[in-house]
């Protein structure tokens, strides 16, 4: 009896050592499966309170801020712009995940001159039968030489408006970024232009390696980096996960999200059941692809035009306009809460990602565009808002050490236990479920 007790204790200890590094090694800040995590703002974000009038709007410096906005509310802020840089002010509206929303509800953001002339705007709204999830878009001031063309240096007003008249007050995250202008005499041309479309990645690009595991983040700030290849994650119905992908000048991105079969009645229908969306490095809306889900395997694809500086010269409605800067693009993948009527556990989702084309040369900026967040860095944390590069590096080293030591202990413990494990006459029985999602109980 004493031997068996010691045996069980040793087994439990070895199991604990083997499991611990797996939990500790998840990406920092990533949403855990089994819960709907609310949007997480940047750790360095500063609280600000927008004013009800343009004259009283608080001044924003380049950086990230948090505020709230209620239904039908309009808030004012201020920024001081030079006469050469492109200025981007983005707003994220973050209602509770899965909350009831109306198609009229959304966020409108605009940049205006002091005389009220609008220099740029953006708007993100919910669709019919949609549910609560982060919405984001930006307003851009691109200096223009024509008189009154928003090209002067001075004070501008940022206007953030909630488009829906009903609903709950929810948090907003405001990010102000400036992109350096080009050197004098430089043409606004890089490499690669084209239209966006719904074509999938080349199979040879995305099926040549074993799938990697990734745990998506709650938003822009904790989105883990992913690149070319096949990735697997688990999403709950009603949940939206974020990922970031490096896309350089001249490159284009395509994504396919695969959702497996569920045991659903013939009449089951989840409008907009699977959604794939994309925002650029300044959090501007690039595009989205939404498909209904009826319980059968579903693939949702999205693709972009090549990144080119001159894309910004296109009209705002052109799908390629937002593919104007190199850097980290933000992918969102979401499932509608109605999918939960036939699924009661995390859904395995496969992401096939392809970044096509050789990286091209950056335009001749008159300043450090990469430091401003417009460019691909070797370390994705180098442009993160929370300034956690050193912490992330030390954390990775620490986890690597713990994982290596634990792996050795696991191997030694497993060898010792195997040598002492008594042979049982009746092997344990296992139930293996494969091939589709399990029905809701």
pLDDT in tens, 26-59: 333 333 333 468 999 999 999 999 999 999 999 9
* Better-predicted residue by pLDDT, 388 or 35: 35
Mean pLDDT for 360-369 is 93
Within a domain: 32: no
Whole-number Å distance between alpha carbons of 150 and 142: 7
Residue-wise pLDDT tens digits, 323-356: 999 999 999 999 999 999 999 889 999 999 999 9
For residue 304, what pLDDT is reported? 95
428 lies in some domain: no
Q: How many CB atoms lie within 10 A of CB 117?
A: 11
Separation of alpha carbons 100 and 40, rounded Å: 20
Helices (H), 182-282: 203-206
The answer to whether residue 229 sits within a structural domain is: yes
Query: Is 392 a member of any domain?
Result: no
Inter-residue contact 366 to 372 (CB < 8 Å)? no
**Residue 36, pLDDT score:** 60
**The CA-based dihedral angle spanning residues 308, 310, 316, 319, taken in that order and rounded to the nearest 10 degrees:** -30
> In b/e form, how buried is each residue of 218-231, taking b as 16+ CB within 10 angstroms?
bbbbbbbebebbbb
Residue 379 pLDDT greater than 90, yes or no: no
Mean pLDDT score across all residues of the chain? 79
Owning domain of residue 260: 46-387
Task: Please give the share of the chain, as a percent, with pLDDT higher than 90.
Answer: 61
pLDDT value at position 43? 95
384 or 404, higher pLDDT: 384
Structure confidence at residue 184 as a pLDDT band (50, 70, 90): confident
377 pLDDT band, cuts 50/70/90, is confident
CB neighbour class for 84 (10 Å; exposed up to 12, middle 13-18, buried from 19): middle
- Number of residues that this document lists for the chain: 441
Check: CB of residue 256 under 8 Å from CB of residue 301: yes
Position 20 confidence tier, pLDDT thresholds 50, 70, 90: very low
Q: Domain total for the chain?
A: 1
155 part of a folded domain: yes
**Which of 180, 158, 187 is closest to 84 using CA atoms?**
180
Predicted local confidence at residue 217, as pLDDT? 97
Residue 235 lies in a domain: yes
Asked if residue 111 is part of any domain, the answer here is yes
The whole model's pTM is what? 0.78
Kindly state whether residue 178 falls inside one of the protein's structural domains. Answer: yes
């Amino acid at each position: 009896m004493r031997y068996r007790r010691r045996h069980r204790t040793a087994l439990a200890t070895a199991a604990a050592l083997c499991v611990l590094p797996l939990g500790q090694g998840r990406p920092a800040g990533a949403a855990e499966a089994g819960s709907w995590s609310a949007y997480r703002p940047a750790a360095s974000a500063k609280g600000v309170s927008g004013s009800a009038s343009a004259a009283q709007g608080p001044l924003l410096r380049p950086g990230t801020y948090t505020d709230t906005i209620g239904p039908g509310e309009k808030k004012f802020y201020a920024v001081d712009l030079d006469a050469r840089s492109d200025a981007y002010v983005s707003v994220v509206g973050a209602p509770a995940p899965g909350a009831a929303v109306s198609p009229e509800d959304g966020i409108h953001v605009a940049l205006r001159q002091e005389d009220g002339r609008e220099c740029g705007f953006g708007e993100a709204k919910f669709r019919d039968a949609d549910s609560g999830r982060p919405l984001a878009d930006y307003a851009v001031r691109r200096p223009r030489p024509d008189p009154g063309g928003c090209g002067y240096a001075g004070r501008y007003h940022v206007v953030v408006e909630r488009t829906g008249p009903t609903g709950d007050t929810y948090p907003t995250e405001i990010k102000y970024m400036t992109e350096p202008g080009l050197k004098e005499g430089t043409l606004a041309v890089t490499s690669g232009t084209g239209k966006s479309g719904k074509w999938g990645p080349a199979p040879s690009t995305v099926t040549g390696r074993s799938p990697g595991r990734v745990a998506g983040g709650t938003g822009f700030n904790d989105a883990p980096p992913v690149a070319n290849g096949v990735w697997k994650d688990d999403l709950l119905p009603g949940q939206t996960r974020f990922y970031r992908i490096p896309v350089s000048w001249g490159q284009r991105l395509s994504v396919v999200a695969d959702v497996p079969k569920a045991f659903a009645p013939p009449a089951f229908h989840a409008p907009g059941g699977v959604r794939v969306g994309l925002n650029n490095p300044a959090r501007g809306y690039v595009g989205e692809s939404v498909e209904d889900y009826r319980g059968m395997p579903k693939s949702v694809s999205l693709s972009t035009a090549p990144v080119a500086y001159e894309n910004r010269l296109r009209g705002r409605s052109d799908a390629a306009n937002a593919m104007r800067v190199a850097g980290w693009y933000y992918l969102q993948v979401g499932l509608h809460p109605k999918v939960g009527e036939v699924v009661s556990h995390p859904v395995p989702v496969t992401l096939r990602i392809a970044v096509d084309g050789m990286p091209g040369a950056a335009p001749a900026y008159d300043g450090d565009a990469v430091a401003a967040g417009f460019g691909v860095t070797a370390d994705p944390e180098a442009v993160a808002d929370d300034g956690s590069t050193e912490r992330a590096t030390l954390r990775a080293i620490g986890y690597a050490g713990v994982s290596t030591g634990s792996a050795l202990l696991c191997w030694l413990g497993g060898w010792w236990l195997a040598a002492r494990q008594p042979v049982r006459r009746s092997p344990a029985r296992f139930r293996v479920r494969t091939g589709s999602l399990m029905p809701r109980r």
